Every structure is written in C-alpha cells, then in structure tokens.
Amino acid sequence: MIWPVLILSSMAVLSGPLFAQPNAGNPVSLKVDFSLDSVKYIFLHPEEILKDVDQFWQTDAAFQLSARWHRNNNIPGDMDKFREDILRLSKIPAAEREADPVLKLGESIKSGEARFAAAAIPHILGFLPRNGLQMETKIHLTAFTTASAFMTNTQIVANIASPKLSGTANGILNILLHEVYHIGYGIDRLLRSEEPLEDGRAYDVLDVLHNEGLATYVAWKAGSLYPFPDFEDYRMLEDDAVVREKIGKVNALFFQFEKLPKEDFRKLSWEEGVKNRAYYIAGAYMSRTIDEKIGRAALIETIEKGPRSFVSLYNTLAEGDMKITEFPAPRGLSLYSRIFQHLTDHPGSSLTPFDPELEELSRKDGGSLANGMNRLGYRLLYRGRPADAVIVLSKALALFPKDANLYDSLGEVYLKSGNMEKAAENYRKSLELDPNNSNAKKSSRPCQFGDRTPSLMDLRQALRIFFKLFACLPPWVDNGASTSIDNNLLFCCVG
C-alpha cells in the first residue's frame, strides 16, 4: 500500500501555503473544481441506478448533498419521480444518451473551467475582503435534483438540466458564480467584527439578506462575462417598482418575526424571502446602492463587519419606505464574544470561568451552544489561532462528547496546524460516532494524488479513506459532504 505515504508527503507540501494566516492586505484566493461525475453517471448508467436508487443517493456526491438539502430545508425528496426520470432515461438507446444535449452542456461548462478561474474568480474576489484566506470549492454538475442550484459550506450542486438555469452554459456559469460567491462570504462570516443580534434566528435572517443580496448583485455585475438576460432576479432588480415591493416584503417579514411562532415564521420566510426572492432582490438593491453611492470598499467593509452593519449603512443612503427595518441592537457581548475576548487577553488559558454559564446553556439549548462553539473554534482557526481553537472545541466536546461534528472540526484544526496524529484521532472519533453522515463514494480517489496538487478537501477525503481501509471501520467513505463549519448552513439559490 503506497498511498498513505503519498498522503503524508502531501501534508508536507500543503502545510505552507494553505494555512497562510489571515492578514489585512494579503490577497484571498479561491480554487474551483468542476466535476462531471454525477451527470455522466446518470446519463451513461441509468440502469445501474435503477438497481438501487437509495444506494445511488447515498453514494453519488451530488445526491448526498441533495439529500442534505432536503433534510435541512424540510422538503421531502420525491423518490418516485426520480425513479421515473431515470427509468425514462434508461429506455433511451445508449448511443442517444451519450449524445444528450444535457451531457454536451455539461462538457461545455467544464471546458470553461480555465476561463472561470481567469475571469470569474477575480470578479468574485473583487467583492470580498482581502484577508489572506484561501478557499476552495467543488462544483458538482448533475441532473434531476429538486433544487436547481445550491451550496453547502464548501461544495456546490447544479442541476444543469433544470430549465430555471437557462439551459445555456453562460446562464449556468452566471448562477455558479453566484454560488461560488457564497463560499467566500461563508468563510468570511467567521471573521466578522460586529456583535451579532441576541436572537440568533433574527441574525440568521439578516445573514441571508446580506449573503443572497451580495451574491445576486455580484453575479448580476458579471453579466458581460456570463450573460443571463432572462433571469427573473435580474429583471426584477432592474425594475424600481418591483424592488420597492420586495423591500416592503422584507419589512413585512421582519415585522412578523416576533409575532409568529418559529415554524410559521420559517415557512413565511422561505415562501416570501427565498421562493418569491424578497431577500435576493432587496439585498441586491441594497448592495448596489452602497456600491454605487459610496463605493466598493464600503460594501466590502459590510462583509468584514456583518449584516447588521450592512442594513444600517444602507439605511443612511435610503429614503423613506426604501429603508429596511432594524432589529434592536444587542445590549452586551454574547457568550462567544466574551470567550473570544478572554482568549485574546489570555491566549491559551482555561475556560473554567465560563463553566456555570456553559453548563446552564447546554441544558437549555444544547444544539445552539454546540453550533456556537463550533463557529467560535473556526473563527479562532481562521484568525490564525489554532491553539485557542483547540481549547474552545475541546471545551465543547467536554459538554457534548457524542457530537461527531465537533470532532470533525477539531480534526480539521489539527490537520491545518500540521498535527497529523491528532487530526487522525479526531476524524476517527467523528466517523465512529456518525458513520452515516459520511456516505460512500465508489471511487478510488487516492490515485488522483499523483496527478495534481491535492487540496484540503482531498486530504479530508484521504484521511477518511485511510480509516476505511486501515482502521476497520464500516465501508463508508466520506466525499467531503459532511463539512462542518455549520451543519445548517445551506443556501438555496434557485429553488
């Protein structure tokens, strides 16, 4: 077995550039990898999928992510329809399927990868803080998923057969640019300087307005690179009456926030904000207003600060009913900000002073505490403070010893700080606790390491394959679908 050695040597190669510490003035970088695996498999081997549809959903990278999309958005997957679509496909002669326009479209998108790197990525980076962070994403091109396009923390799925995505390479690449922008925003949100709202749910709503608004605006601004003139979002954004109506909808939503039960608000927010595009159009108009009136630097500063700052800056530029309702400002520092401050004042120190508060919160709202500590761990990691990230994540694990995601995060912290042994130990614990979250992928990825420079995602993958083969764990191999910054962070861009 030669490849574990390859993994170790890859580590040495990577430990330099990948883990550059965030530093004002440094460039950001973003690497994008397009994959045709899913769409090819569907069109070339539909009969194989029909043998075991569930297995396909568990093993195909795009469909694993799609399954998560269904779970996280509370939208049941329509397996019967999927089966019918694949059955229909399987009845078409193989030669015809191989020449299918969807496959050709996929190939045409894939062939634009170099242009995407040369032109789209600099465009995207022009709307992100230059904080030295290095990011990467994989775009899975597929067909027959319910959502036309969506992203998770580090990966993107696009149903290129969806009529909503225009059916043209340019239109799809325009939407992919929007999605890739989210990857950058998602990483930068860990470095925000503003104090979040006390109500985490309210802050999440502002987050969507900011994130979707910016992504929509950035892709709209890329119209000369990848034209998508018929896209409904852009037609709405260019129509003042529609913009006014969408801002009214956002304000109406915010007005309902405290009045409606949680689940009712979630449904309304999904219906009006996401499906009827109020967050996208209002947020894009807000971004455009800031960019055009006071400049790009001010717009980027809202990303460094956070969505509260975005709304309040926009309001200084907007008149009357075009303003956005602001939520009450937080009265003090959150628990996470206080822990962050404590570790800034006393790096490496124990979190014992916070024990009573942490224990109380773990009883009251364990899920939110685990998630908050996880984000704080990443925030410290991305600020170049892995030792403090270990303190925070270890503290969280003391409270939630069965949380696979926290082990996964701790594994990543060790991986990024070059401690292979500890990384391995924590990834193994994560897999032991939650093997089902790490679904199978029937590929022999390790072979790729000889062909190109491995990425961080490859390394995570490699570690998991390592455990599959050598640690006698069940035969699931994660394809990177269970990324861990925030398990609930899923953006649906074109539903």
Cβ closer to Zn ion: 215 or 404?
215
In the complex, the smallest distance separating the C-beta of residue 10 from Zn ion, rounded to whole angstroms, is 32
In the complex, the smallest distance separating the C-beta of residue 149 from Zn ion, rounded to whole angstroms, is 8
Q: Which residue has the tokens 């890329």?
A: 222
Cβ closer to Zn ion: 228 or 414?
228
SS3 content of the chain, % helix, strand, coil (to 5): 65, 5, 30
In the complex, the smallest distance separating the C-beta of residue 178 from Zn ion, rounded to whole angstroms, is 5
Cβ closer to Zn ion: 188 or 212?
212
For residue 395, which of 344, 360, 352, 425 has the smallest C-alpha distance?
352
Cβ closer to Zn ion: 89 or 141?
141
Note whether 391 binds Zn ion by CB under 5 A.
Answer: no
* Gyration radius (Cα) of the chain, Å: 22
For residue 407, which of 380, 441, 370, 436 has the smallest C-alpha distance?
370
Q: Which three-class secondary structure state does DSSP give residue 167?
A: coil
Cβ closer to Zn ion: 7 or 494?
494
Applying CB under 5 A, what is the total number of residues that bind Zn ion?
A: 4
How many other CB atoms are there within 10 angstroms of residue 349's CB atom?
Answer: 12
Q: Which three-class secondary structure state does DSSP give residue 366?
A: helix
Cβ closer to Zn ion: 67 or 183?
183
In the complex, the smallest distance separating the C-beta of residue 211 from Zn ion, rounded to whole angstroms, is 7
Cβ closer to Zn ion: 159 or 455?
159
In the complex, the smallest distance separating the C-beta of residue 374 from Zn ion, rounded to whole angstroms, is 23
Note whether 467 binds Zn ion by CB under 5 A.
Answer: no
**The only residue of 215, 376, 459, 465 in contact with Zn ion, by rule CB under 5 A:** 215
Residue nearest to Zn ion (CB): 493
User: CB of 345 within 8 A of CB of 272?
Assistant: no
Q: Which three-class secondary structure state does DSSP give residue 46?
A: helix
Give the residues across from 155 on adjacent strands: 138
- Of 50-58, 84-92, 245-253, 487-495, the segment contacting Zn ion by CB under 5 A is 487-495
Sheet holding 149-151, edge to edge: 29-35, 134-142, 155-159, 149-151, 491-494
Site for Zn ion in 183-212 (CB under 5 A): 212
In the complex, the smallest distance separating the C-beta of residue 427 from Zn ion, rounded to whole angstroms, is 30
Site for Zn ion in 42-71 (CB under 5 A): none
AA identity, residue 109:
I
Strands (E), 122-250: 134-142, 149-151, 155-159
User: CB of 351 within 8 A of CB of 278?
Assistant: no
In the complex, the smallest distance separating the C-beta of residue 269 from Zn ion, rounded to whole angstroms, is 15
State how far the Cα of 209 lies from the Cα of 273, in Å rounded to an integer: 8
Note whether 491 binds Zn ion by CB under 5 A.
Answer: yes
Note whether 493 binds Zn ion by CB under 5 A.
Answer: yes
Residues of this chain that interact with Zn ion (CB under 5 A) are: 212, 215, 491, 493
